[in-house]
């Protein structure tokens, strides 16, 4: 397996660092628009693991906005798998470039949505991933696999959903992704500051677009942002966090392959974060449409959202200032295999202190990066096979969860996952 990582930001950097501890692949090409970022990642691997491991990595430049550039780099290095680790706005070109190069493809976020032009808070219009799912026939005809949404959420959450449907329930009422954390970021004096732990560009897209819900008798429909608040109790010391509906790929993916009455995604944002996002929206600073702005060198065009992203700290640099844990999981309700009501929460927790000590990667980006590497290993060993455009829930979840949890000394990733039985709500 010869892997091309497109993007050496926080997630791409962490993907490479995790790959450095695995032996299933032959060559990894780390690329970025700024090749110095890719070279820094490989330098870290050389310092941590030595020249022999680093020799299996190559740095190169790439333009993720150009399918031709992606295809050229992939062909030049004989790449078999393209790992997309850049902003979702680049998904169409990286996706097309991988197919043009006759390579398999993985991503952690899908093509962007467009709200309904007249009724955005009731009806869907262009949904997340629509453009990729429409290309399923092309990928099948080429005999190539596009494994989409293979991060943590979407990704591991979809694997948990498949496991619950196959092994824990006879019928499922709700598949509900629930994401929460107790993370804080501090300044040099130890005071908490506002600094998103993941790409603000992506966060704005997710949180200010109309959230999508799926119900079996209604199909996909939307609600206003931050709707249906609920307090969800997260494990391993994180505790209760208020979660709200957010647009996310799981809701657009799971109903295609898994049988459930309802599919939702709720994210623990917190009042401060919600307030900031609402302010950005009111000031039109969430817009991706370029504006003409005067500068010392003359008029320039710049998208307001790109300005916001440039003004905030790079999430990849926040690790030393971050404290706490993040939890990604799948809350499932329905009827258990014994015919009685059942409610469970399947989850994985990532501790920033551990990820910084082991990888010098903050926990949110590291947890995201872990999952495509697990998937790549299953593809390399033939445990997962397929063609077309597929989500993680297409494949058997048990080999994935077994490999993820198995100790590193026994060939696994040493990342145990949890399953909490919860008391079903009375109806």
Beta-sheet strands, E only, within 108-150 = 145-147
| pLDDT > 90: percent of the chain | 79
Q: What is the pLDDT of residues 221-277, one digit of tens each?
A: 999 998 999 999 999 999 999 999 999 999 999 999 999 999 999 998 777 778 888
Give the model's confidence band at 322: pLDDT under 50 very low, under 70 low, under 90 confident, else very high.
Answer: confident
Phi/psi of residue 229, each to 5°?
A: -60, 140
Whether 353 and 400 have beta carbons less than 8 Å apart is answered as no
Provide mean pLDDT across the span 383-406: 98
Q: How confident is the model at residue 321 (pLDDT cuts 50, 70, 90)?
A: confident
Q: pLDDT class for 427, splitting at 50, 70, 90?
A: very low
Domains present along the chain, CATH in parentheses: 2-151+367-410 (3.40.50.720), 156-364+417-422 (3.30.360.10)
Q: What is the pLDDT of residues 26-37, one digit of tens each?
A: 999 999 999 999
Determine the Cα–Cα distance for residues 291 and 128; give it in Å rounded to an integer.
26
Contact 414, 388 (CB under 8 A): no
Q: What angle do CA 19, 21, 24 make, to 5 degrees?
A: 65
- Please tell me the predicted confidence (pLDDT) of residue 198: 67
Q: Is 172 left (phi over 0), alpha (psi -120 to 50) or beta?
A: beta
State both tokens at 92.
Answer: 């169409």
User: Could you give the CA distance from residue 93 to residue 70 in angstroms, rounded to a whole number?
Assistant: 8
Cβ contacts of 294 within 8 Å, gap of 6 or more: none
pTM of the model: 0.92
Per-residue pLDDT of 153-193, as tens digits, reads: 999 999 999 999 999 999 999 999 999 999 888 888 787 77
In terms of Cα–Cα distance, which of 427, 420, 425, 382 is closest to 403?
A: 382
Using the predicted structure, report yes or no on whether residue 299 has a pLDDT greater than 60.
yes
Q: What angle do CA 201, 228, 230 make, to 5 degrees?
A: 95
Least confident piece of the model among 91-95, 212-216, 267-271, 408-412: 267-271
Contact indicator for 390, 146 with CB cutoff of 8 Å: yes
């Amino acid at each position: 397996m010869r892997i091309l990582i497109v993007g050496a930001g926080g997630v791409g950097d962490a993907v490479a660092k995790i790959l450095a501890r695995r032996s299933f692949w032959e060559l990894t090409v780390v690329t970025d628009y700024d090749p110095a970022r890719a070279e820094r990642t490989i330098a870290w691997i050389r310092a941590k693991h030595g020249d022999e491991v680093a020799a299996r990595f190559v740095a190169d430049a790439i333009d993720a906005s150009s399918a031709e550039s992606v295809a050229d780099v992939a062909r030049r290095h004989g790449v078999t798998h393209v790992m997309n680790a850049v902003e979702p706005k680049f998904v169409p070109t990286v996706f097309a470039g991988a197919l043009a190069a006759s390579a398999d493809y993985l991503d952690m976020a899908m093509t962007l949505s467009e709200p309904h032009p007249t009724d955005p808070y009731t009806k869907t219009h262009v949904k997340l991933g629509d453009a990729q799912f429409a290309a399923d026939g092309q990928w099948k005809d080429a005999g190539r696999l596009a494994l989409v949404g293979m991060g943590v959420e979407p990704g591991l959450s979809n694997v948990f959903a498949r496991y619950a449907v196959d092994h824990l329930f006879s019928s499922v009422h709700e598949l509900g992704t629930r994401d929460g954390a107790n993370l804080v970021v501090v300044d040099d004096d130890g005071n908490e500051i506002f600094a998103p732990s993941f790409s603000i560009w992506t966060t704005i897209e997710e949180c200010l677009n109309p959230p999508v819900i799926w119900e079996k008798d209604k199909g996909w429909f939307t609600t206003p942002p931050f709707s249906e608040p609920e307090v969800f109790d997260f494990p391993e010391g994180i505790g209760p966090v208020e979660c709200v509906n957010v647009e996310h790929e799981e809701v657009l993916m799971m109903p295609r392959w898994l049988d459930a009455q309802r599919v939702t995604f709720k994210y623990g944002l917190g009042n401060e974060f919600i307030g900031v996002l609402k302010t950005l929206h009111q000031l039109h600073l969430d817009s991706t449409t370029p504006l003409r702005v005067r500068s010392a060198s003359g008029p320039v065009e710049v998208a307001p959202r790109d300005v916001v992203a440039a003004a905030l700290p790079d999430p990849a640099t926040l690790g030393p200032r971050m404290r706490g844990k993040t939890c990604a999981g799948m809350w499932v309700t329905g009827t258990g295999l014994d015919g009685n009501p059942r409610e469970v929460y399947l989850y994985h927790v990532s501790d920033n202190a551990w990820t910084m000590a082991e990888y010098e990667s903050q926990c949110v980006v590291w947890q995201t990066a872990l999952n495509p590497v697990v998937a790549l290993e299953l593809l390399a060993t033939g445990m997962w096979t397929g063609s077309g455009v597929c989500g993680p829930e297409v494949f058997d979840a048990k080999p994935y969860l077994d490999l993820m949890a198995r100790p590193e000394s026994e060939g696994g990733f040493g990342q145990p996952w949890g399953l909490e039985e919860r008391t079903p709500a009375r109806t």
